[in-house]
């Protein structure tokens, strides 16, 4: 007798397989937050205790390089010389699995790198005062941060790649030094382009705001998603994050309503294996607007 013809998969099975493939292609992520620039945003301990955030960037070490004495300013919380009390806060966050980074730079400050030697000196300072090294005057006390965040928006565009290499080399001494960055969305970033090309950055949270050519605007997501795709294709990093203002007050432009983010943008960008989550500026504005509460289940 002839063999029976092979069975044809049912329509329901095909739909199930198709749906499963879509689910499998969508990647989950976390929320990164900047903390430190407003005294009314709560303590670092309370920030981490919310359970909302996977990464916290302490903002900012705003003065360094060129032979200057580095200075940290956690505005409203503490300034250089008086911040050692947050060591326990840092450890509390880390004990919950939250990575805590020191953010360099910011939109205001006095920072730059004058040479490769200057980059080496800054790397040594960061290692000894915030990471796994030793110093008699660690600004944040004896807690060991997880890494360094590059939010470089001012000054020279040179030698940031050297700083990244020198910091990365310290990972060879034991505990990994995580490197993160917050470039502007126009690609390549004018300050961090060379540094990002090293491929040494673990997490990159691109600022898709205050940059009209590559941000959300008036119901149009195309510029943002097109820019996202360009970053995904162009950069070698473990995870890429969508950086957004947490309220309309947090930036001059580029605010994305939570419902637009969760229903239109996230379903698109989460298809990338490099998708890491969402970065928000900042804890203070997130508190005021409840942005992370609105998006957390979708991130």
Residues belonging to the active site:
153
Of 206, 120, 108, nearest in space to 161 by CA: 120
Which distant-in-sequence residues (6+ apart) come within 8 Å of 202 by Cβ? 147, 178, 179, 180, 237, 238, 239
* Residue environment code for 227-244, b if the CB has 16+ CB neighbours within 10 A, otherwise e: bbeebbeebebebbbbbb
Question: Concatenated DSSP letters for 154-192?
Answer: SS--SSHHHHHHHHHHGGGGSS--EEEE--BSSSSPTTT
DSSP per-residue string spanning 197-230: TTS--SEEEEE-SS-GGGS-BTTB-HHHHHHHHH
Contact between 161 and 194 (Cβ < 8 Å): yes
Tokens of 172: 């060879």
Alpha-helix runs per DSSP H in 26-109: 44-49, 87-95
CA 209 remoteness from chain centre? 14
Could you tell me which residues are beta bridge partners of residue 179?
148
Please, are residues 182 and 207 in contact by the beta-carbon 8 Å criterion? yes
| CA-atom Rg of the chain in angstroms | 21
Find out whether 55 and 33 touch, Cβ atoms under 8 Å. Answer: yes
Q: Which residue has the tokens 């607007």?
A: 289
H or E element in which residue 243 lies: strand 239-245
């Amino acid at each position: 007798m002839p063999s029976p013809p092979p069975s044809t998969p049912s329509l329901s099975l095909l739909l199930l397989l198709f749906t499963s493939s879509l689910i499998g292609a969508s990647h989950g992520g976390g929320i990164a937050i900047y903390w430190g620039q407003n005294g009314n945003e709560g303590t670092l301990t309370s920030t981490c205790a919310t359970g909302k955030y996977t990464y916290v960037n302490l903002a900012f070490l705003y003065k360094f390089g060129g032979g200057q004495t580095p200075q940290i300013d956690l505005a409203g919380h503490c300034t250089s010389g008086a911040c050692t009390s947050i060591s326990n806060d840092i450890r509390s966050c880390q004990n919950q699995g939250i990575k805590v980074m020191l953010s360099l730079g910011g939109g205001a400050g006095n920072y730059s790198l004058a040479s490769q030697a200057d980059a080496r000196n800054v790397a040594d300072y960061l290692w000894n005062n915030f990471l796994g090294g030793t110093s008699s005057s660690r600004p944040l006390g004896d807690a060991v941060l997880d890494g360094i965040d590059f939010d470089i928006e001012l000054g020279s565009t040179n030698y940031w790649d050297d700083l990244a290499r020198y910091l990365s080399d310290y990972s060879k001494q034991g505990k990994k030094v995580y490197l993160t960055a917050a470039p502007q969305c126009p690609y390549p970033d004018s300050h961090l382009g060379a540094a990002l090309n090293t491929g040494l950055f673990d997490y990159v949270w691109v600022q898709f705001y205050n940059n009209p050519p590559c941000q959300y605007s008036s119901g149009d997501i195309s510029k943002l998603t097109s820019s996202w795709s360009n970053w995904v294709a162009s950069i070698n990093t473990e995870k890429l994050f969508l950086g957004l203002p947490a309220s309309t007050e947090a930036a001059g432009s580029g605010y994305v309503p939570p419902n637009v983010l969760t229903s239109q943008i996230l379903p698109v960008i989460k298809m990338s294996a490099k998708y890491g989550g969402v970065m928000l500026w900042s804890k203070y504005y997130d508190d005021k607007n409840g942005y992370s509460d609105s998006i957390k289940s979708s991130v």
